[in-house]
């Protein structure tokens, strides 16, 4: 992939895609209440993955995370290839998405949120 | 360089190699390696995952120092950055794949206590984040290359990502080591 080295767009695309994928994976995990449709969908995804039967829900979440990361990266890379972006805003977005995903993934927080919504 | 200094270095190197050879032979012929790795396929898979995690520990430590230098404008050599970031990606990929392979060997009938499950699930998340972060840093370093010192924003972004990768790796590594110890003690996970 060629890159315009005078623009910071590609660098921001690389980081934002990780934050976005982490947030999506954390939200999917949060929505996967045992017995619910999201958990069934995750189980179905895990069933088609090699070794997914033993690895369970996490294998599906990992596959979703990696897929979202790569797709978002390709899309953002093309969209931001020749753009100079305000770094502060994008780094804040990246850190906020990563921080939020980490908080949502922390099991006690996830369980508390699930209990509140159910 | 004087002849005396060169010969001294050669002597030290020769002695070190000789001592290493003796140590290796002694260890290999006397160590109960089976006891170290553990029985069966699970033991071999665990040992491989731990070995790769140990290698990532080294590459990540180098990476975080390079990240700090990028952040503070003390540019390391581009060639060092490129090689370091690529090795980091390869090591992370190996650790992730070996972790996935290890996960498939888990016994689902062994239910872990809730307290351990909390740490295990978070370890999985932290470990999963490492690969995309180091790939992002590697792509920035390789794609910008010689232009990296000229763009402060890009340099700082690469440094930030390397530091974050180190943080998440340390979470995964520490929890992995702690859980391996607990697994030995309690026979769970």
Q: Which chain A residue shows the shortest CA-CA distance from B143?
A: A3
Which residues have a Cβ under 8 Å from the Cβ of B111 and sit 6 or more positions away?
A: B188
In the three-class reduction of DSSP (H, G, I as helix; E, B as strand; rest coil), residue A56 is classed as coil
Using 50, 70 and 90 to split pLDDT, how confident is the model at B74? confident
Question: Which residues of chain A are within 8 Å of residue B151 when distances are taken between CB atoms?
Answer: 5-6, 8
Nearest to A69 among B122, B124, B132 (CB): B132
Which residues have a Cβ under 8 Å from the Cβ of A34 and sit 6 or more positions away?
A: none
Question: Which residues of chain B are within 8 Å of residue A58 when distances are taken between CB atoms?
Answer: 103, 121, 124
pLDDT tens digits, one per residue of B79-127: 889 999 999 999 999 999 888 888 777 665 556 677 778 888 899 899 9
B110 touches chain A (CB under 8 A): no
- Rounded-to-integer distance, Cα B83 and Cα B104, Å: 32
Q: Kindly report the length of chain B.
A: 189
- Rounded-to-integer distance, Cα A11 and Cα B82, Å: 15
Does residue B11 surpass a pLDDT of 60?
yes
Position A36 scores a pLDDT of 82
B57 touches chain A (CB under 8 A): no
Position B6 scores a pLDDT of 61
DSSP single-letter state for residue B39: S
Does residue A69 surpass a pLDDT of 70?
yes
Which residues have a Cβ under 8 Å from the Cβ of B81 and sit 6 or more positions away?
A: B66, B70, B141, B148
Express the helix, strand and coil content of chain B in percent, nearest 5 each.
85, 0, 15
Position B142 scores a pLDDT of 93
Does residue B188 surpass a pLDDT of 60?
no
- Rounded-to-integer distance, Cα B89 and Cα B56, Å: 9
Position B130 scores a pLDDT of 94
Neighbours of B29 (CB within 10 A): 7
pLDDT tens digits, one per residue of B16-63: 999 999 998 988 888 877 777 777 777 888 888 989 999 999 999 999
Does residue B5 surpass a pLDDT of 80?
no
Q: Which residue out of B70, B96, B116, B128 would a mutagenesis test of the A interface target, given it has the greatest number of A Cβ atoms within 10 Å?
A: B128
CB contact under 8 Å between A58 and B103, yes or no, is yes
For B60, the token pair is 């990540």
> Model ipTM?
0.91
CB contact under 8 Å between A66 and B132, yes or no, is yes
Which region, left, alpha or beta, applies to residue A86 given φ > 0 means left and ψ of -120 to 50 means alpha? beta
**What percent of chain A shows pLDDT beyond 70?**
97
Does residue A81 surpass a pLDDT of 80?
yes
Residues of A with CB under 8 A from a CB of B: 1, 3, 5-6, 8, 10-12, 14-15, 17-18, 21-22, 25-26, 50-51, 54-56, 58-59, 62, 65-66, 69, 87, 91, 98, 102, 105-108
Question: Which residues of chain A are within 8 Å of residue B136 when distances are taken between CB atoms?
Answer: 14-15, 17-18
Q: A29 to chain B, minimum CA–CA distance in Å?
A: 11
CB contact under 8 Å between A22 and B154, yes or no, is no
pLDDT tens digits, one per residue of A5-39: 778 889 999 999 999 999 999 999 998 888 888 88
């Amino acid at each position: 992939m060629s890159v315009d080295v005078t623009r910071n767009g590609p660098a921001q695309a690389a980081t934002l895609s990780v934050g976005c994928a982490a947030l999506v994976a954390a939200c999917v995990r949060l929505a996967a209440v045992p017995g619910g449709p999201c958990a069934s969908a995750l189980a179905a995804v895990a069933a088609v993955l090699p070794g997914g039967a033993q690895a369970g829900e996490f294998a599906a979440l990992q596959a979703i995370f990696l897929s979202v990361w790569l797709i978002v990266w390709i899309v953002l890379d093309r969209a931001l290839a020749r753009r100079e972006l305000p770094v502060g805003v994008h780094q804040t977005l990246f850190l906020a998405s990563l921080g939020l995903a980490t908080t949502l993934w922390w099991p006690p927080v996830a369980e508390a949120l699930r209990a509140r919504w159910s | 360089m004087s002849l005396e200094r060169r010969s001294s270095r050669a002597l030290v190197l020769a002695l070190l190699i000789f001592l290493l050879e003796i140590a290796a032979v002694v260890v290999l012929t006397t160590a109960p390696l089976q006891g170290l790795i553990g029985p069966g396929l699970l033991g071999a898979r665990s040992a491989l995952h731990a070995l790769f995690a140990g290698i990532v520990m080294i590459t990540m430590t180098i990476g975080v120092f390079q990240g700090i230098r990028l952040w503070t404008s003390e540019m390391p050599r581009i060639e060092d950055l490129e090689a370091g970031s690529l090795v980091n990606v390869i090591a992370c990929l190996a650790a992730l794949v070996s972790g996935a392979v290890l996960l498939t060997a888990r016994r689902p009938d062994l239910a872990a206590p809730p307290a351990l499950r909390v740490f295990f699930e978070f370890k999985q998340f932290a470990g999963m984040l490492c690969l995309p972060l180091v790939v992002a840093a590697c792509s920035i370093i390789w794609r910008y290359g010689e232009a990296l010192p000229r763009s402060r924003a890009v340099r700082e972004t690469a440094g930030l990502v390397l530091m974050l990768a180190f943080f998440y790796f340390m979470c995964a590594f520490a929890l992995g080591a702690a859980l391996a110890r607990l697994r030995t003690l309690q026979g769970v996970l």
